[in-house]
Amino acid sequence: MNPHQDEPIYLPTAFHSRQQQHNLLHAWGGWNGYLKPEAYTDIELEYFAIRSTTAVFDLSPMNKYRVTGPDAEAFLNRVLTRDVAKIKNGRVGYCIWCDDAGQVMDDGTLFHLGDNDYRLCSYTRAYEWLYWSSLGFDVAIEDETGTVAALAVQGPTSCTVLTAMGVTGLESLKPFGILEVSFQGQTLTVSRTGFTGDLGYELWIDTSAGEALWDALFAAGEPYLIKAIGTEALEIARIEAGFLQAGVDFVPAETAVRRGCTRSPFELGLGWLVDFDKPRFNGRKALLAERDAGSRYRYVMLDVDGNKPAHHSFILQHGKVVGTVTSAAWCPTAKTNLAFAQLELPADASLTGLVAEIYYERELRWNKVLAPCVAIDRAPFDPPRRRQTPAPAL
């Protein structure tokens, strides 16, 4: 008999006791060693909570690293591709970091919390790499993943709900801004950030106050039909908003096993996050060479004909396979069949004549569809309320 057979494989987050009450489907998965809800009741209802009312997603398993010390800015400028000095105090910046070959290790958000005080949030674990890279810099790096609880509060009534909970100052908080307020003796950090492409906020607090924060939030949000959501609903929303996901749309360079499976920032459509005005940063030499010589792959968003999502489909051009789909979804609000694809085409090649080779199963029978695709320049969902300041109070 195994004495450890009843021990949980995944750790509970600070909100787990409350999630159990909402998760009628008992649909659980794992994220970074923590237990996460895949869905609570109905994926479609959870998705429409994001777009119609207020949706709450547990962000606690995200890796969170506090970087402090006299060389904090210089160190982060060395490991990130964008100019960290341009992310002012009280602001959040979207960032990527690369290995020496210029291949993306991960993307994430950098919070400038104070003088020489930053928090880097990432999907994949990066503590060891950050620690090794800090050699020669006067910095301290602390893994806050287990001590900082986080909730994403997203949707058109999210500002109204947080205001009803007692959060003041939201009316002047701009996108990617940070606000600190007091909550039951703890510092509650509110950032106007999210992964849904909608109006929304993320709440960051010590894990000891996690249950109290959940209770206060849901009490304030009850009149506004607040709803807990899982990763399945969030997946639809992030695709509709045009956001990439590590491990889905690209293989993090540090975890790749096979050569050629990783991607550079240019190949992911993230070249705007590479600042060559900085003298040194990881992968700079390789990225300069790629900029001059051209990239092997191109990232494109495709509007796919029909309503069959092009999951894991090949992309054809004039009958020849030129790429694959990494993410796909029928987007209910945008009414678009959207797909993200990696194409092995020259940068100056035409994006006309693209076709998705889609396979889907109905009643034990597999069907094949050749669906025409049109490359689009921007995500189909981008509402004005996402940037409106003050945020709309509904």
Residue list for the binding site for substrate: 202
Instruction: Answer for the pair 65, 144: CB distance below 8 angstroms, yes or no.
Output: yes
Report the amino acid identity of residue 318: H
| SS3 label, residue 29 | strand
Residue 206: name the closest of 75, 324, 60 by CA. Answer: 60
Give the integer Cα–Cα distance in Å for 70 and 47.
43
Distance of CA 60 to the CA centre of its chain: 13
Q: Please list, in sequence order, all residues whose beta carbon lies within 8 angstroms of the beta carbon of residue 75, skipping any fewer than 6 positions away.
A: 67, 69, 133, 134, 137, 139
Distance of CA 214 to the CA centre of its chain: 22
**Backbone φ, ψ for residue 164 (5° rounding):** -65, -30
**DSSP classification of residue 392:** P
Instruction: Return binding residues.
Output: 202
Give the integer Cα–Cα distance in Å for 302 and 339.
5
Q: Please list, in sequence order, all residues whose beta carbon lies within 8 angstroms of the beta carbon of residue 205, skipping any fewer than 6 positions away.
A: 148, 149, 150, 183, 186, 187, 188, 189, 213
The token duo for 107 is 């993307």
Give the integer Cα–Cα distance in Å for 43 and 22.
13
Q: Cα separations (Å) of 267 from 83, 262, 303? A: 20, 9, 19
